[in-house]
Amino acid sequence: MDDSLRLAAVDETGWLRPAAGAGPREPRWGNPDGMQIGLHPLGGPRGLIRIYTPYLGHDRDRLINFIAIEPIPLGATERGYSELERSGLDDVPGLRFWSADPPADPAPRAGDDPTRGMVDGDTLSVSILCEPFANGAHVRVTATFIRDRPHEVALAAHIRADSVPLYACVLSATMGNWARLRELELAGGTATSQTLWPRHTGNGFTDHAAFGVGVRVVEGDEAVVRVKPDEADPTAAEYAVGTAEHWHFKGLRAVQEWRAKDPDPALRAQVNGRVTYWMSDHPIPGGVAFENVELVEPFRDGRSFTFRIEPL
């Protein structure tokens, strides 16, 4: 369906929410002038939460990142991949996400038939449901916005009754290459993508680099993983011939970060990288950059991680 045929989300009492009524509506929630999230069928692959940051000078539909849901069953090492698995509901790539408030009814809804989210004082929350993973995991995610923290969203994973037990449910920011994120702030200094993987080649991912309690940044009662670009003006980059326009950087430079209150001693920050843009052989200007940025921690039902993006 042409996106213009869906009713746009509306600014209502200071929150951006799907329009009321019947018919196709835009599945989008958040702060009208701050961070917003969206779901398929808005632009991009299925099985991903869209992140929008219009306060960075972006057009309304410019995505800065995606969040994938990647559960790891107890006793396993391999994770499920919400973007890459094939749906058991309609046999197409990407697991289906849909909204439900409250989340008691697990019946799938059409992506452009969203619930409006629940307003409670100065918070807006929406439940994002997901079909089961091939590894037996079955989870949902609650996204919560706070009015006086307009540049962030808190994301909490919950296990469903029919799920296998989980070791972890990773919420991974998956598109660091668009912003060409290359500097990772650590307790003892800064690690860069170039020093972590100086000889990486090809069009695949690097191995993960993981950082535990001794090196990650801790601020008060929060553990933080913070990444940012290394270019003074990313908009001035020269791209290889044939690089898709949607990879061209636009808007303001920004720092992206995950925050976790009351971190488990086993919590670790993880990053990986690429030297070419996703699903292409076109090189990233300036070389290897972080792609996935995430916190990994033993699973706690309803445990919240905060994703924040601030202008530099």
Domain map (residue ranges) of the chain: 1-174, 178-312
Predicted local distance difference test score (pLDDT) of residue 216: 78
Per-residue pLDDT in tens (0 to 9) along the chain, 312 residues: 566 679 999 999 999 999 999 899 999 999 999 999 999 999 999 999 999 999 999 999 999 999 999 999 999 999 999 999 999 999 999 999 999 988 888 889 999 999 999 999 999 999 999 999 999 999 999 999 999 999 999 999 999 999 999 999 999 999 999 999 999 999 888 999 999 999 999 999 999 999 986 777 888 889 999 999 999 999 999 999 999 999 999 999 999 999 999 999 999 999 999 999 999 999 999 999 999 999 999 999 999 999 999 999
Predicted local distance difference test score (pLDDT) of residue 171: 98
Predicted local distance difference test score (pLDDT) of residue 1: 59
Predicted local distance difference test score (pLDDT) of residue 106: 83
Give, in order, the Cα–Cα distances in Å from 206 to each of 127, 189, 272, 301. Answer: 33, 22, 6, 30
Predicted local distance difference test score (pLDDT) of residue 277: 98
Predicted local distance difference test score (pLDDT) of residue 3: 66
Query: In terms of Cα–Cα distance, which of 228, 230, 187 is closest to 211?
Result: 187
